[in-house]
Amino acid sequence: MNAKAILITYPEEESINEALSLAETAGYDVKKIVKQKHITRSRYGIGKGKALEVKDLLDTMNIDVIIFDEVLKPSQHYNLASLCKKEIIDRERIILEIFERRSSNSESRIQIKLAQLRYEMVRVKEKVRLAKIGEQPGFFGLGKYDADIHILDIKSRMSILKKKLEKEEKRRKLYRYQRNKLGIPTISLVGYTSAGKTTLFNHLTGESKITGQGMFTTLTTFTRALNLNENKVLITDTVGFVNKLPAYMIDAFKSTLNELVFSELILLVLDISQKINDIKIKLNSSLHIMNELQVPNTKIIYLFNKIDLTDLNDAYDKYIDLGLEDSNHIVLPISSKTGHNLDKLKDLIGDIIYGKKISIKNNRKFFK
Ligand SMILES: Nc1nc2c(ncn2[C@@H]2O[C@H](COP(=O)(O)OP(=O)(O)O)[C@@H](O)[C@H]2O)c(=O)[nH]1
Ligand SMILES: [Mg+2]
């Protein structure tokens, strides 16, 4: 069963949606959302009054953890945890937990372990700093001497991991062009957190779940069979892009996407109901990462998801604004919620992967 959580985040809808998706992806069941304009305040992250409110909520609800949608300093973490007597998972930790759940190869497991050690290192150093200035002595039961040993230990673990990583990178480069193990074409869903990847994944594979036999038992929960009339492909719901991803996590993030090079087709999911500037930023950074992973642009289909929240005219304007009409991009407005155009999407995937040449000269037809 999933751990039950209180989520503390900003009041903007976008922040709430993203934080909710992150919590869900990490396997938490959010029972209550607490919103506050400022969540980087000094003592508890949130203001004292709000912190007491959270404490009261905890007394009346059956909650396992507090998810805090910002990065907490160790002292803030300590203060809030002491007040509420609950485990606190901050934004960086939840992202690391997601990466850990989704890592599918040894290289990404090492990268994620390295990122986790960096996370730990920052916190131990802060404890040492606080101990030195006489605040929080014996912070979390750690004396300064213990903390120094701890830092040395983290450093040596990191250097061992870095050596392992070099070997794995070499190996990956060697096997880069090897086909995937099952020999069945694979397609991948990519996009920002809360764009609707998982909803689409569930919608597309809903009927195929029962195929959990034979070779499909080797699949993970994030890769399933997708039936297209007589044919089959495998579809993977990849880890989502995250706003404000800390720099030290970028390698770990990219490594979870390494397998994209084995994908026949990439479905790039965009939330088309968002403001054009937000979509632009997200599209550009998604394409930038794909480029770094050496995924050819020609493998990408752009899915304008959540079309039910806007209309085709608006989607068409955005399509022009994003500059997607200039080349041979395939763009399809869909709704993972209502199912709009999902049959068309399946036909399209089938056509692209199983032979039929497709030439979509005029995307405009999709916007009718
Ligand atoms: N209105 C609408 N909501 C959607 C659609 N697709 C997904 N959502 C909602 O958007 C939120 C994030 O979806 P999710 O699939 O978890 O996004 P992911 O983070 O990309 O996997 C959820 O609340 C979904 O119910 C859609 O086509 N229309
Ligand atoms: Mg998801």
Q: Do 291 and 255 share a domain, yes or no?
A: yes
What average pLDDT does this structure show over 173-199?
Answer: 81
Q: Do 268 and 355 share a domain, yes or no?
A: yes
* The domain boundary residue, chosen from 98, 123, 148: 98
Q: Please, are residues 9 and 244 in contact by the beta-carbon 8 Å criterion? A: no
Q: Do 79 and 117 share a domain, yes or no?
A: no
Identify the CATH number of the domain in which residue 32 sits: 3.40.50.11060
Q: Please, are residues 155 and 182 in contact by the beta-carbon 8 Å criterion? A: no
Q: Quote the number of domains for the chain.
A: 3
Is the CB of residue 199 below 6 angstroms from any atom belonging to ligand 1? yes
Atom of ligand 1 nearest to the CA of 269: 20
Q: Do 161 and 198 share a domain, yes or no?
A: no
Beta strands of the chain (E only): which ranges?
3-9, 28-35, 65-68, 87-90, 186-191, 223-228, 231-237, 265-271, 300-305, 330-333
* The domain boundary residue, chosen from 45, 71, 98: 98
Q: Do 201 and 288 share a domain, yes or no?
A: yes
The yes-or-no verdict on residue 258 having pLDDT over 70 is yes
* The domain boundary residue, chosen from 117, 142, 175: 175
Q: Do 228 and 260 share a domain, yes or no?
A: yes
Distance separating alpha carbons of residues 286 and 137, to the nearest angstrom: 45
Identify the CATH number of the domain in which residue 353 sits: 3.40.50.300
Highest mean pLDDT (candidates 6-20, 97-111, 136-150): 6-20
CA of 146 to the centre of ligand 2 (A): 40
What average pLDDT does this structure show over 10-30?
Answer: 94
Give residue-wise pLDDT tens across range 345-361: 999 999 889 876 555 55
Q: Is residue 195, in this structure, part of any structural domain at all? A: yes
Q: Is residue 128, in this structure, part of any structural domain at all? A: yes
Q: Is residue 211, in this structure, part of any structural domain at all? A: yes
Q: How many Cβ atoms from other residues are within 10 Å of residue 80's Cβ?
A: 23
Is the CB of residue 333 below 6 angstroms from any atom belonging to ligand 1? no
pLDDT at 127: 77
Q: Do 359 and 210 share a domain, yes or no?
A: yes
Q: Is residue 52, in this structure, part of any structural domain at all? A: yes
Is the CB of residue 55 below 6 angstroms from any atom belonging to ligand 1? no
pLDDT at 211: 43
Q: Is residue 84, in this structure, part of any structural domain at all? A: yes
- Judged by average pLDDT, the poorest of 24-38, 173-187, 204-218 is 204-218
CA of 24 to the centre of ligand 2 (A): 8
CA of 142 to the centre of ligand 1 (A): 43
The yes-or-no verdict on residue 1 having pLDDT over 90 is no
Read off the pLDDT band of 284 (50, 70, 90).
very high
Give residue-wise pLDDT tens across range 51-82: 999 999 999 999 999 999 999 988 898 889 99
What average pLDDT does this structure show over 15-37?
Answer: 94
Q: Do 236 and 318 share a domain, yes or no?
A: yes
The yes-or-no verdict on residue 146 having pLDDT over 90 is no
Q: Which ligand is nearest to the CA of 195?
A: 1
Is the CB of residue 185 below 6 angstroms from any atom belonging to ligand 1? no
Q: Residue 169 sits in which domain range?
A: 103-175
Read off the pLDDT band of 184 (50, 70, 90).
confident
* pTM of this prediction exceeds 0.85: yes
Q: Do 341 and 358 share a domain, yes or no?
A: yes
Read off the pLDDT band of 333 (50, 70, 90).
very high
pLDDT at 124: 85
Q: Do 50 and 35 share a domain, yes or no?
A: yes
Q: Do 276 and 313 share a domain, yes or no?
A: yes
CA of 359 to the centre of ligand 2 (A): 31
Query: CA angle at residue 221 from 228 to 199, to 5 degrees?
Result: 65
Q: Which ligand is nearest to the CA of 21?
A: 1
Q: Do 146 and 160 share a domain, yes or no?
A: yes
What average pLDDT does this structure show over 281-297?
Answer: 92
- 194, 205, 270, 311: residue to mutate for ligand 1 pocket, most atoms within 8 A of CB: 194
- Judged by average pLDDT, the poorest of 93-97, 146-150, 294-298 is 146-150
Q: Which residues contact 8 (CB under 8 A, 6 or more apart)?
A: 34, 35, 36, 39, 45, 46, 54, 66, 67, 68, 69
Is the CB of residue 305 below 6 angstroms from any atom belonging to ligand 1? yes
Q: Is residue 181, in this structure, part of any structural domain at all? A: no
Is the CB of residue 196 below 6 angstroms from any atom belonging to ligand 1? yes
